[in-house]
Amino acid sequence: MTTAAPAGRRVRRLRPETRWAYIFMVPWLVGLLVFQLGPMIASLALSFADYDLISAPRFTGLDNYARMLEDDKVARAVGNTALYTALHVPLAVVLALVLALVLNRITGRAAGAFRTIFYLPSMTPYVAVGVLFLFLLNGQAGMVNDFLALFGISGPQWTTDPDWILPGIVLMSLWNLGSTTIILFAALRNVPRELAEAAMIDGAGPWQRFRSVTLPMISSALFFVVIINTITSLQMFDQVYTMFFGNQIAQQSSGDAALFYVVYLFQQAFQFLHMGYASALAWLLFLVIAVITLIQVKVGNRLVYYEAEEHAG
Amino acid sequence: MAVVLAGGLAACGGVGSSGGGTGGASSGGEGGALTTMGFGFPDEIATVRVDAFKKAYPDVRLAVNEGQFDEQAFLSAVAAGNPPDVVYLPRDKIGGYAARGAIQPLDECVATERIATGDFYPAAQQQVKYAGKWYAVPEFYNSIILLVNDKAAKDAGVDPKSIDTSDWDGLAKLAEKMTRRDGNRIKRFGFYPKLPEFLPLWAKANGADILSADGRTAHLSDPKVVEALEYATGLVKAQGGWTGLKAFTDTFDYFGAENPFTKDQIGMMPTEQYLVSSMAGTSPDAGITVLPFKGRDGRPVNNVGGNAWVMPKGAKNPQAACRWMKTMTAKDTWIAAARARADKRAKEGKINIGTYTGNAAADEVIFSQIVKPSGKPAYDDAVKVIRSVQQAGFVVPQSAAAAEFVKTWQDASTRVLLGRQDAAGSLDKAQRDAQRALDEAAQ
């Protein structure tokens, strides 16, 4: 691509690499405009309308947003999603970090095999994971309670007792730590060995080396996985929908204990045809995610040690 | 995200605005293409009827998109102005789609093609009408009966044939006697009342309807509905509670040889007759008894249901669609399908308890000429019982807020089952929510 050459101005030609970069970006940019930005603008407009997908949208001002304040299911869905996020994110990051540390210590030929094994659960489709855990967590015949029974523990009704449904979902979510583990593992591999060795010579123990050397050096990766896990937690849908809302009978069993925000949004859109209201719900979620991410970035900038990249580079 | 996609469709300005005539108006000529949604070829009942259509209308290019009805795919297709010509869906969804104009009235289709609507069971007719117009053509006719595990009854010292659901006190005592537990684990659930989905049945058994006949006024806080919910949830609580029961039933394989009756996991439960049909194929020697589910007045109550054919807004070939609906549900087509089923079951050496269609005229022939006694009294008696309750069929009237209405009373029942609210309080809330949804939809 070249820029136009107005009279009297110096012609500035793009470098071939830059030109090719733009060419390769075109499909993505078209996709962004047609499949994301356009529909996003349309859904923003619909959030101010009463729209059932069949009839023409009818402008209703801020009614959909006002309705959210009175809708007790919105409050329940927000509560469930927030609690899940608060439980899942720290657990997932800590467990993934432990797994990454274990992987980092495995050397030789076995290393590749173990990395593959650790990542394999991430290859399982979400729907399959949902169905699998519905059986594993079954309070009457599931393997989780069978395992607990070996220690004399009478397990709860994970899939039907409203008090245990959310912990069960958190347990299920820890199945899929592959991506987070791999990102943290890559960060651990970039920690300069000489820093840890210098700390050891200075008399630092394993915990001190981890806290004062490793953790700061991988803090940017940790920050990244916290943000990504937070966003995916707030958008949780597939597994929960499969487990608790996939058919009419499943929908009746759990009350609102598994009502996540995006599940409620989907119900409003495609079960009740309240597309305008669902669009308003979608925009609220977008704003919440944007605000949380902004806060995380502000806080993260104070805590994250970015010079590690410069050092590694 | 789906909403965003829908928004995109709206932004294009083509939302449901494409043409397509009303039912019966021919825009596709004599032949043309005919596309279906929500239907498949699971068995000979389907294939024989599809073959009948192909034979009658060889110039129609038929495309059957196999698979279950998918609400999202259907609505997106209608919104995009590119819907299938006919859709096979559960009848209880018709009111909501009709009120929003997602499906077309079929009065012209019914008149032009002379569809024999009088052949359909009255309850099936009621369920496919909305605001006095035909919006669908009914297919199967699923009746609810009481299915009893003979072993459980005998263990409780009761002759299964003597069980009477009109005696609520006796039923509650029997349920507890039938229940077997091993510590926290349920071995056999005595009486599974099939809540929350069967609340309309329990309400009717207590003499109440949960919705007015015109589909505009909810009756969920009617004291008789409250009493019915209290009683049915009380049965579950007395036998160990909902959370254990639900987890227990989640392990059931209803349609296999290892079903909960052959495995002695259920004492008795109200259920649709197709479970008995399935057991006839998988478990011919099962010790079961089929009885009418009676109301407290001693008369059978039967909340019937099934699927139906509808024509979406914007269907491109309404004439072929109308002919398809007529052929698939006509008396002769059903008889041919039932005969094929009987022949197949005979070849396999399996019991055939018949095909229960929405067409009463077809059923008359099927059960007088095609279905023969199998020599297995349990199943032969079951046929008699199922036939005897068909005319007692009732339906919850169609409403403009059908989906919201169902959700409110199911949520209310679940709250009571979980012990989060008492029946009166929960149904009061449901009444307010349901009425608001009905009023909004009516506007």
Say yes or no: B310 and B421 in one domain: no
Contact B6 A269 (CB under 8 A): yes
The residue type found at A134 is L
Say yes or no: B165 and B297 in one domain: yes
Cα–Cα distance measured from residue A19 to residue A17, given in angstroms and rounded to the nearest whole number: 5
Say yes or no: A153 and A285 in one domain: yes
Q: Is the peptide bond before B90 cis (omega within 30 degrees of 0)?
A: no
Question: Is the pLDDT at A255 greater than 60, yes or no?
Answer: yes
* DSSP structural state of residue B117: G
Question: Which position has the higher pLDDT, B10 or A268?
Answer: A268
Q: Read off the pLDDT of each residue in B122-127 and give the average, rounded to a whole number.
A: 96
Could you tell me what percent of chain B has a pLDDT over 90?
A: 81
Q: Read off the pLDDT of each residue in B96-102 and give the average, rounded to a whole number.
A: 91
Name every chain A residue with its beta carbon within 8 A of the beta carbon of B102.
53-54
Contact A53 B96 (CB under 8 A): no
Say yes or no: B405 and B328 in one domain: no
Say yes or no: A86 and A148 in one domain: yes
- Tally of domains within chain B: 2
Residue A206 distance to chain B (closest CA, Å): 46
Phi, psi at B90, each rounded to 5° = -65, 140
Q: Is residue B391 part of a domain?
A: no
**Strand runs (DSSP E) across B273-371, as ranges?**
288-292, 302-303, 307-310
Contact A39 B11 (CB under 8 A): yes
Say yes or no: B412 and B263 in one domain: yes
Q: Is residue B406 part of a domain?
A: yes
**Which pLDDT tens digit goes with each residue over A188-218?**
998 888 888 898 888 888 889 998 889 999 9
Q: Tell me which of A36, A275, A279, A281 to substitute to probe the interface with B (most B C-beta atoms closer than 10 Å).
A: A275
Write down the pLDDT at residue A242.
86
Residue A151 distance to chain B (closest CA, Å): 16
Listed residues B337, B353, B379: the one ending a domain:
B337
Q: Which of A87-96, A167-176, A294-303 has the lowest mean pLDDT?
A: A294-303
Tell me which residue range forms the domain holding A145. Answer: 63-312
Question: Is the pLDDT at B11 greater than 60, yes or no?
Answer: no
Say yes or no: A42 and A83 in one domain: no
The residue type found at A286 is F
Q: Tell me which of A44, A67, A140 to substitute to probe the interface with B (most B C-beta atoms closer than 10 Å).
A: A140
Say yes or no: A42 and A68 in one domain: no
3-state SS record for chain A: CCCCCCCCCCCCCCCHHHHHHHHHHHHHHHHHHHHHHHHHHHHHHHCCEECCCCCCCEECCCHHHHHHHHCHHHHHHHHHHHHHHHHHHHHHHHHHHHHHHHHHHCCCCHHHHHHHHHHHHHHCCHHHHHHHHHHHCCCCCCHHHHHHHHCCCCCCCCCCCHHHHHHHHHHHHCCCCHHHHHHHHHHHHCCCHHHHHHHHHCCCCHHHHHHHHHHHHCHHHHHHHHHHHHHHHHCCCHHHHHHHCCCHHHHHHCCCCCCCHHHHHHHHHHHCCCHHHHHHHHHHHHHHHHHHHHHHHHHHHHHCCCHHHHHHC
Q: Is residue A184 part of a domain?
A: yes
Q: Is residue A112 part of a domain?
A: yes
**Strand runs (DSSP E) across B280-423, as ranges?**
288-292, 302-303, 307-310, 393-394
Question: Is the pLDDT at A249 greater than 80, yes or no?
Answer: no
Question: Is the pLDDT at B210 greater than 90, yes or no?
Answer: yes
Q: Is residue A287 part of a domain?
A: yes
A49-50 and A58-59: which strand pairing? Answer: antiparallel
Say yes or no: A24 and A124 in one domain: no
Cα–Cα distance measured from residue B308 to residue B311, given in angstroms and rounded to the nearest whole number: 10
Cα–Cα distance measured from residue B128 to residue B402, given in angstroms and rounded to the nearest whole number: 13
Cα–Cα distance measured from residue B374 to residue B355, given in angstroms and rounded to the nearest whole number: 15
- Confidence at A276, pLDDT banded by 50, 70, 90: very high
Say yes or no: B196 and B133 in one domain: no
Secondary structure class of B138 (helix, strand, coil): strand
Write down the pLDDT at residue B17.
33
Say yes or no: B131 and B167 in one domain: no
Question: Is the pLDDT at B23 greater than 60, yes or no?
Answer: no
Say yes or no: B283 and B416 in one domain: yes
Listed residues A38, A59, A80: the one ending a domain:
A59
| Nearest Cα residue to A306 out of A225, A224, A216 | A216
Cα–Cα distance measured from residue A195 to residue B63, given in angstroms and rounded to the nearest whole number: 68
Q: What is chain B's mean pLDDT, rounded?
A: 90
Q: List the structure tokens of B371.
A: 């279905």
Q: Are B314 and B35 in contact (CB under 8 A)?
A: no
Write down the pLDDT at residue B298.
95
Q: Is residue B419 part of a domain?
A: yes
Cα–Cα distance measured from residue A258 to residue B413, given in angstroms and rounded to the nearest whole number: 17
Write down the pLDDT at residue B406.
93
Question: Is the pLDDT at A2 greater than 50, yes or no?
Answer: no
Contact A55 B250 (CB under 8 A): no
Question: Is the pLDDT at B9 greater than 80, yes or no?
Answer: no
Q: What is the CATH number of the domain that holds B244?
A: 3.40.190.10
Listed residues A8, A38, A59: the one ending a domain:
A59
Listed residues A29, A59, A89: the one ending a domain:
A59
- Tally of domains within chain A: 2
Say yes or no: A240 and A107 in one domain: yes
Q: Read off the pLDDT of each residue in A268-297 and give the average, rounded to a whole number.
A: 93
Q: Is residue A3 part of a domain?
A: no
Question: Is the pLDDT at A8 greater than 50, yes or no?
Answer: no
Say yes or no: B23 and B151 in one domain: no
Question: Is the pLDDT at B13 greater than 70, yes or no?
Answer: no
Look-up of token digits 């293409």: B33
* DSSP structural state of residue B28: S
Question: Is the pLDDT at B26 greater than 60, yes or no?
Answer: no
Contact B246 A278 (CB under 8 A): no
Task: Write out the H or E segment, with its range, that includes residue B89.
Answer: strand B86-90
Listed residues B337, B354, B382: the one ending a domain:
B337
Question: Which position has the higher pLDDT, A8 or B105?
Answer: B105
Say yes or no: A242 and A163 in one domain: yes
Say yes or no: A136 and A29 in one domain: no
Q: Is residue B353 part of a domain?
A: no
Say yes or no: A53 and A132 in one domain: no
Q: Read off the pLDDT of each residue in B349-370 and give the average, rounded to a whole number.
A: 95
Say yes or no: A48 and A75 in one domain: no
Q: Read off the pLDDT of each residue in B388-412 and give the average, rounded to a whole number.
A: 93
Question: Is the pLDDT at B173 greater than 90, yes or no?
Answer: yes
Q: List the structure tokens of B420.
A: 């989060």
Say yes or no: B89 and B122 in one domain: yes
Question: Is the pLDDT at B149 greater than 50, yes or no?
Answer: yes
Q: Is residue A8 part of a domain?
A: no
Say yes or no: B155 and B242 in one domain: yes
Write down the pLDDT at residue A3.
42
Q: Are B312 and B136 in contact (CB under 8 A)?
A: no
Q: What is the CATH number of the domain that holds A89?
A: 1.10.3720.10
Name every chain B residue with its beta carbon within 8 A of the beta carbon of A52.
100
Write down the pLDDT at residue A308.
53
Tell me which residue range forms the domain holding B285. Answer: 144-303+401-442
Write down the pLDDT at residue B14.
31
Residue B66 distance to chain A (closest CA, Å): 19
Secondary structure class of B246 (helix, strand, coil): helix
Q: Read off the pLDDT of each residue in B154-163 and give the average, rounded to a whole number.
A: 95
Q: Is residue A6 part of a domain?
A: no
Q: Is residue B266 part of a domain?
A: yes
Say yes or no: A182 and A200 in one domain: yes
Q: Read off the pLDDT of each residue in B205-225 and give the average, rounded to a whole number.
A: 96
- Confidence at B395, pLDDT banded by 50, 70, 90: very high
Name every chain A residue with its beta carbon within 8 A of the beta carbon of B242.
160
Q: Is residue A7 part of a domain?
A: no
Task: Write out the H or E segment, with its range, that includes residue B153.
Answer: helix B150-155
Q: Are B95 and B402 in contact (CB under 8 A)?
A: yes
Q: Which of B7, B100, B250 sits opposite A39 (nearest CB)?
A: B7
Contact A54 B1 (CB under 8 A): no
Write down the pLDDT at residue B28.
41
Residue A47 distance to chain B (closest CA, Å): 9
Q: Is residue B5 part of a domain?
A: no
Name every chain A residue with its beta carbon within 8 A of the beta carbon of B407.
271-272
Cα–Cα distance measured from residue A7 to residue A2, given in angstroms and rounded to the nearest whole number: 15
Say yes or no: B73 and B218 in one domain: no
Question: Is the pLDDT at B315 greater than 70, yes or no?
Answer: yes
From the number of C-beta atoms within 10 Å of its C-beta (0-12, 13-18, 19+), residue B162 rates as exposed
Q: Is residue A21 part of a domain?
A: yes
Q: Are A236 and A84 in contact (CB under 8 A)?
A: yes
Say yes or no: A47 and A69 in one domain: no
Longest dimension (CA), chain B: 69
Q: Which of A15-24, B6-15, B347-356 has the lowest mean pLDDT?
A: B6-15
Q: List the structure tokens of A63.
A: 């009614």
Question: Which position has the higher pLDDT, B369 or A193?
Answer: B369
Say yes or no: B155 and B267 in one domain: yes
Q: Is residue B261 part of a domain?
A: yes
Q: Is residue B6 part of a domain?
A: no
